[in-house]
Amino acid sequence: MDKTINKNGNYKRLILNTVLFAIGQFGPSLLGFFLVPIYTNCMSQSEFGTADLVINLSNLLIPFVSICITDGVVKFSLDGKHDKNSVFSVSFFICLLGSILSFIAYPFIYKYGQISGYVLLFYMVLITSVFNNLLLLYIKSIKRLKLYTIIALVKSAIMLISNIIALRVLNLKTEGFLWSFIISNIAGCLMAVLTARLHHFISIRNLQKKTTKEMVAFSLPLIPNQASISVMTSMDRYMLTYLLDSSYNGLYSVAHKIPDFVGRLSMVFNQAWNYSVLENQTQNIKNNYYQSIYTLYSSYMFIIASIVMMLIRPIMYVWVGAEFRDAWLYAPYLLISIIFSCFTGVYVPLFVICEKTGTLFISTLAGAITNLTLNYLLIPIWGINGASFASAVGYLVVWLMRGIMIKKYVKIEFDNIKAIINAIILILQGTCLIKLALSYFWVQIVILSIVILINIKDIKNLVIFLKNSLLRKSH
């Protein structure tokens, strides 16, 4: 690891940002573990599957409602070239206009049988999510990371309390699930506005023509990319419901919970990584900074994934309601897909600072097409695991393509050979977990040991790096 880079503070800022985002993500992640037993004991597979469809349909439409303008908030606020009040005002009014125009789709959404009884709640989820994302991203862009962390933790507490009241006390089932989500989003928006006094930054007079054009030009090419990502994360649920039944989506959604927890842990780093890269976009950071961080990160994630893979079955058995206990069978390939998804996110800020966001769409579209095709082919013959496997292959395609394409713009030699070897071993581990019911634990221990041996050098480097960073900080 380059000593010069250590001295310039880039690693230290990355660690500090990671810690702050870790605290902010810890609340939602811990919340997820507390809520799954409540969901699986208070709702049937069909009820939970329907609620999950509503949330994922809103995620699918967010890029179109916001025209991905929120993706430009952090970049344009931190580049030192634009007025932050103008950036925020432009983003706010675009999200407001998009929210109003979204009601044009009301008749089409109402005709979708699975969620026709929850259309108004769907719109409340959609609009509050759009503004919650915008306000929290702007708080990050003005470097109020501690406030961002506090809001995330308070939102988590509100989500937990409202779910307990709605599901346990009032027995509201699907409606209770959705109302808890909406209340949490509204609380996040109110806290952001009141504590950061964001309403003082919103003004039509701040709508600078040049800033508006630049932000729209930056954001519009991201819509196909974000829409393709939403297809990859959400469409398998709709295809399961269409080809099988909503109860299958309920099982699939629960199977997603532990992989999603791993994804949240990774998101801690990805958010800090994105923020740090964009924060230093005006500096000429040496390429071995990117290479060393990527190497340590990939080794860490593969070891974490292997450990979680070994523990999925016993955790699921005691963690979820009896109706959902078979969900562990569908988690292995979902865990692998989450790992691949995490790696694709590492490349995003590099494309952003090179202003090649349109290039991201090519890889994402390829992954989405792969995912949809395999879903259509595999779900009828392999059921839920067909959707899980399709998701893993889709993200693998995106990861490999971005690794190849980034070399056109940045001279970085990522060690993807070792990463691919790790990925093959992880796929083998997941397959053994599903197929070897009796001797699975011993097989899992052997495979975990192999993964640790392959990555032991990088883990030692990570420990040394963290130790040296802490010692420098203490002095």
Share of the chain above pLDDT 70, in %: 83
Asked whether residue 383 is domain-assigned, the answer is yes
Q: Which two tokens stand for residue 72?
A: 């430009």
Q: Name, of 18-27, 53-62, 224-233, the range with top average pLDDT.
A: 53-62
| Per-residue pLDDT band at 29 (split at 50, 70, 90) | low
Is pTM, for the whole model, over 0.85?
A: no
* Cα–Cα distance measured from residue 106 to residue 405, given in angstroms and rounded to the nearest whole number: 39
pLDDT at 474 over 50: no
pLDDT at 457 over 90: no
The end-to-end CA distance of the chain, in Å, is 21
| Per-residue pLDDT band at 218 (split at 50, 70, 90) | confident
Asked whether residue 384 is domain-assigned, the answer is yes
In the prediction, which pLDDT does 224 show?
Answer: 79
Q: Which two tokens stand for residue 172?
A: 């509201």
Asked whether residue 330 is domain-assigned, the answer is yes
Q: What is the mean pLDDT of residues 20-30?
A: 62
Tell me the one-letter amino acid at 383.
G
Q: Which two tokens stand for residue 181?
A: 């989500």
Q: What is the mean pLDDT of residues 107-127?
A: 85
More confidently predicted of 225 and 403: 403
In the prediction, which pLDDT does 150 show?
Answer: 87
- Least trusted range by pLDDT, from 57-66, 94-103, 105-114, 423-432: 105-114
Q: What is the mean pLDDT of residues 406-423?
A: 78
pLDDT at 24 over 80: no
| Per-residue pLDDT band at 1 (split at 50, 70, 90) | very low
Q: Radius of gyration of the chain from Cα atoms?
A: 22
* Cα–Cα distance measured from residue 425 to residue 431, given in angstroms and rounded to the nearest whole number: 10
Chain segment 142-154, per-residue pLDDT in tens: 878 788 888 888 8
Quote the longest CA-to-CA distance of the chain: 68
Asked whether residue 60 is domain-assigned, the answer is no
Give me the number of domains the chain comprises: 1
Q: Which two tokens stand for residue 409?
A: 């713009």
pLDDT at 210 over 80: yes
Chain segment 51-75, per-residue pLDDT in tens: 988 998 898 899 899 988 887 887 7
Asked whether residue 274 is domain-assigned, the answer is yes
- Least trusted range by pLDDT, from 6-15, 196-205, 316-325: 6-15
pLDDT at 213 over 80: yes
In the prediction, which pLDDT does 191 show?
Answer: 93
| Per-residue pLDDT band at 5 (split at 50, 70, 90) | very low
* Cα–Cα distance measured from residue 255 to residue 328, given in angstroms and rounded to the nearest whole number: 6
* Cα–Cα distance measured from residue 319 to residue 329, given in angstroms and rounded to the nearest whole number: 14
pLDDT at 452 over 90: yes
Residue-number span of the structural domain to which 251 is assigned: 233-475
Instruction: Find out whether 369 and 398 touch, Cβ atoms under 8 Å.
Output: no
* Cα–Cα distance measured from residue 212 to residue 219, given in angstroms and rounded to the nearest whole number: 10
In the prediction, which pLDDT does 109 show?
Answer: 83
Chain segment 252-301, per-residue pLDDT in tens: 988 888 888 888 777 666 666 666 666 555 545 456 667 777 777 888 88
| Nearest alpha-carbon partner for 254 in 70, 414, 402, 388 | 388
pLDDT at 8 over 50: no
pLDDT at 349 over 60: yes
Asked whether residue 97 is domain-assigned, the answer is no
- Least trusted range by pLDDT, from 107-111, 131-135, 277-281: 277-281
Instruction: Work out the mean pLDDT of the chain and round it to a whole number.
Output: 82
* 381-384, long-range: CB < 8 A, 24+ apart: 383/244, 383/248, 384/240, 384/248, 384/251, 384/252, 384/255, 384/329, 384/330
More confidently predicted of 16 and 217: 217
Q: Name, of 4-8, 25-29, 445-449, the range with top average pLDDT.
A: 445-449
Element (H, E) at 43: none
Chain segment 120-132, per-residue pLDDT in tens: 999 999 999 999 9
Burial 230-269 (b: 16+ CB within 10 A, else e): bbbbbbbbbbbbeebebbbbbbbbbbbbbbbbbbbbbbbb
| Per-residue pLDDT band at 158 (split at 50, 70, 90) | very high
Element (H, E) at 56: helix 45-66
In the prediction, which pLDDT does 2 show?
Answer: 46
Asked whether residue 260 is domain-assigned, the answer is yes
